[in-house]
Structure 1
Amino acid sequence: MEEKKENDFKMDTEDLRLLNAFGEALGDLPSEEETRAAWNAFTSRQDAQKRRRIIQMWASGIAAAIVVLVVLIVPRITNEDTIQDIEIFAALDVPEAVITSESNGRITLSTPPATTTQITLDDGTQVTLSANSRLEYPKQFPAEGTREVHLTGEARFEVAKDSARPFIVSSGKMQTQVLGTVFDVNAYPGKVAAVTLFQGRVRVSDEKQTRQKDIMPGQQAILSEDDGFIISEAQLTATEGWTKGEFSFDDAELAEIMKSIGTWYNTSIIFHSPDLLKQRIHFRFPRTTSLEEVVQALNDLGIAKLEQKKGKVIISNYSPKH
């Protein structure tokens, strides 16, 4: 038997099986030419199907690669485009100058940003009111009962002694009661209220007076989320810095410092990097300077990047190129 050449076509047993598979024409077996044409059509169809399978596999591979690429890329985009803002102080609606108003025998005193003012109450109590703060008090205290004032913001009280008339400072959910002493109350909106005692003795309680604590000089009481009190040793230098016209912090958290800056200049403070909140630094700077100068001084420390944008101060990590 002669050896088959690559392009030769022989009618052997396999060919006959193919012939029968393609069917008969007019009841007769097809001719060799018809069989050759049928075979060529058959192989063409096989080649076409094979090409389609390859194309489908290739397309499926591309689709799978795209899916994998999207899975890899989407988290990156999400992380870059959805930075979580942590606002630790929001600017308040405050006046542009010191305002005093009177109604029904009560006086309201309000201060603008970067300003303190001092007043003496009817009983001789001296009050230093900090920036962006409001104090409501009676023009004349009653002869009997309590001497009560309402504070929003921050103030230093040097209370005139009067054992028959306890002095009460109401500030949000917290009340501070004294007979004669020197203390600070910090109760800005959106912040936990705190009382720091310098002289004498005070008693703090919730607004319903169901919980109360006595604190001693050098201690600070902070109202907790459950309306209880956390008593701790106070950072007196930092606490009384505003009464001396300076920011004064030793090994303090950046979040604490920025809250103080926000309340003084009445500017919103936003962190873009949670890890910076607890970054501890030493910072001392006069409060008589502008916010721009304070921001520049903090940037000079190289700890974080501070930017002023649309009435806000944004704090973020330096880029890797820094």
Structure 2
Amino acid sequence: MNDEEKNMYNDEDLRLLQLLGEAAGEQPSEEETEKAWKQFQQRHQRRQNNRYMWTSIAAAVLCLIALSLPFVWKQINAHSIELYAALDVPSETTIVEAGDSLILSTPPEQTTEVRLSDGTRIVLGANSRLKYPRTFAMHLPRKVRLSGEARFEVAHDADRPFSVQSGEMHTEVLGTVFDVNAYPGSHAQVILYEGRVRIGHKHKQLDIHPGQQAVLEENKHLKVTNVDLKQAGSWTEGLFDYNNMTLEEVMKHIGTWYNVSIIAQSDPFLKRRIHFRFPRKVSLHEVVTALNDLGIARITVNRQALQVEKP
């Protein structure tokens, strides 16, 4: 709009146009705006009469709103949450030296096994990292650090407790079998299969027993619940196995395995419980197709992320 055209309207009219255009949502592109303005010019030549002036203003506003409708709809549906954020991980299993320790890292869609110097067996999950000593010192506690997911089968040694530091959670045992899940941005949790473990966070400690799970919640409270061990341990057998689990939790597991970000509408439908069993050695596309077939959600791939919406 040039100066001559602006003179057709007073300052209040122009302010109204601008406010209404902004209220319509995200602004249209320059090309769309220019096209709309030319159409407006062709239909509404200069008119001095107030009646025609206000008719022209209304037409211009309608043009802007019409062009902006897709953006308004997009804005309305922009209330989304990120269930999982993809990590910067290697494309293959790597072992890096770090002084007297080793750092083992895994890529997406892959697990790997390692045995420590004391005989402890560890299955490291996808997109995970484990830091451990080359050799555990005699008569000193055995300590490792984990980011991600791992199954621990700890060699018994009454003189040397074994501990796993995973974020803010500390797990200590003498000899037992347990899983730790502590991906960045998620609630750290421990599931016990055999023996007994002690879970600690700062100055709080508690023991859990086989068939129990401890989760470090947002309020830093350690919550203990009973779990189905067969279902919980299915990841070490190459399966997605979810029986009566919320869609939100299932999608987080999908994200951690394929290392793909998960964006979802913030909506109660995420709390719906589903039953889903599928092999992990299939493509992400096949898993998404199977989940969509359940009819609970509409999942699409959008810019290297999964978008989860109501069906």
TM-score, shorter chain, exceeding 0.5: yes
Q: State yes or no: 1:220 paired with 2:213.
A: yes
Superposition deviation, residue 81 in structure 1: 4.2
| Cα deviation digits, residues 64-94 of structure 1 (max 9, x gap) | xx9xxx9xx99x9367545212110000000
2:232 is aligned to: 239
Q: State yes or no: 1:87 paired with 2:82.
A: yes
Question: Which of 315, 319, 322 matches 2:308?
Answer: 315
Question: Which of 253, 256, 275 matches 1:260?
Answer: 253
Question: Which of 211, 216, 223 matches 2:204?
Answer: 211
Aligned equivalents of 2:203 and 2:134: distance in 1? 30
Q: State yes or no: 1:168 paired with 2:155.
A: no
Aligned equivalents of 1:268 and 1:303: distance in 2? 20
1:305 is aligned to: 298
Question: Which of 109, 129, 132 matches 1:114?
Answer: 109
Deviates more, 1:274-283 or 1:105-114: 274-283
CA contact (8 A) 1:86 1:274 kept: no
Superposition deviation, residue 312 in structure 1: 0.5
Letter in 1 for 2:265: H
Q: State yes or no: 1:197 paired with 2:192.
A: yes
| Cα deviation digits, residues 180-215 of structure 1 (max 9, x gap) | 000000000000100000000000001xx4100000
Superposition deviation, residue 287 in structure 1: 0.2
Q: Residue 130 of structure 2: SS of its match in structure 1?
A: strand
Q: Residue 204 of structure 1: SS of its match in structure 2?
A: strand
CA contact (8 A) 1:89 1:268 kept: yes
Aligned-residue sequence identity (percent) comes to: 49
Aligned equivalents of 1:224 and 1:268: distance in 2? 21
| Cα deviation digits, residues 110-145 of structure 1 (max 9, x gap) | 000000000100000000000000000000001012
Letter in 2 for 1:110: S
Q: Residue 271 of structure 2: SS of its match in structure 1?
A: coil
Give the TM-score normalised by the residue count of structure 2: 0.77
Question: Which of 268, 276, 285 matches 1:283?
Answer: 276
CA contact (8 A) 1:306 1:316 kept: yes
Superposition deviation, residue 250 in structure 1: 0.7
1:118–1:94: structure 2 CA closer, same or farther, 3 Å change rule?
same
Aligned equivalents of 1:274 and 1:82: distance in 2? 11
| Cα deviation digits, residues 5-47 of structure 1 (max 9, x gap) | xxxxxxxxxxxxxxxxxxxxxxxxxxxxxxxxxxxxxxxxxxx
Letter in 2 for 1:174: M
Instruction: Report the number of matched residues.
Output: 257
Q: Residue 257 of structure 1: SS of its match in structure 2?
A: helix
Aligned equivalents of 1:79 and 1:107: distance in 2? 47
1:171–1:247: structure 2 CA closer, same or farther, 3 Å change rule?
same
Q: State yes or no: 1:145 paired with 2:131.
A: no
Aligned equivalents of 1:119 and 1:238: distance in 2? 23
CA contact (8 A) 2:77 2:265 kept: no
Aligned equivalents of 2:80 and 2:268: distance in 1? 12
1:125 is aligned to: 120
Q: State yes or no: 1:159 paired with 2:161.
A: no
Q: Residue 261 of structure 1: SS of its match in structure 2?
A: helix
2:5 is aligned to: none
CA contact (8 A) 1:127 1:158 kept: yes
CA contact (8 A) 2:139 2:159 kept: yes
1:96–1:179: structure 2 CA closer, same or farther, 3 Å change rule?
same
Deviates more, 1:77-86 or 1:258-267: 77-86
